Amino acid sequence: MPDDFVAVAQVDDLPEGRGKEVRVGETLIALFRVGDRVYAIDAICPHRGGPLAEGPLEGTVVTCPWHAWQFDVATGQNLRNPASRVTCHEVRIEGNTVYVKVSS
Ligand code: FES
């Protein structure tokens, strides 16, 4: 695994239907497991700072628990507002370990 990937979680520890928040350096990241894939986005909602990892996940769509903005965790795109998105981070899985490379 290249140096810029950091081990952040075990696949088995990721719940279905919601996220898990992890910290890499100064960056809070929300991990989401969708089937056998894992996605990583910024954990802080761009609206008012809600915790996206605590929102319900349906398919690849997470709903912010504070005011229900919705984001596709695979793309970071806000479903209703094309101008709003969250940063996506690259994920790799080796064995049961999830690695994330933080995007700047
Ligand atoms: S803080 Fe996320 S929708 Fe308002």
Domain ranges within the chain, ordered by starting residue: 6-101
pTM: 0.95
47 close to ligand 1 (CB < 6 Angstrom): yes
Query: Which CATH number does the domain 6-101 belong to among 2.40.100.10, 3.40.640.10, 2.102.10.10, 2.130.10.10?
Result: 2.102.10.10
- Using an 8 Å Cβ cutoff, are 21 and 50 in contact? no
Q: Measure 84 CA to ligand 1 centroid, in angstroms.
A: 12
Q: Which residues on neighbouring strands pair with residue 31, listed in sequence order?
A: 20, 40
71 close to ligand 1 (CB < 6 Angstrom): no
50 close to ligand 1 (CB < 6 Angstrom): yes
Site to probe by mutation for ligand 1, drawn from 54, 67, 85, 86 as the one with most ligand atoms within 8 Å of Cβ, is 67
pLDDT tens-place string over residues 47-90: 999 999 999 999 999 999 999 999 999 999 999 999 999 999 99
pLDDT tens-place string over residues 8-53: 999 999 998 999 999 999 999 999 999 999 999 999 999 999 999 9
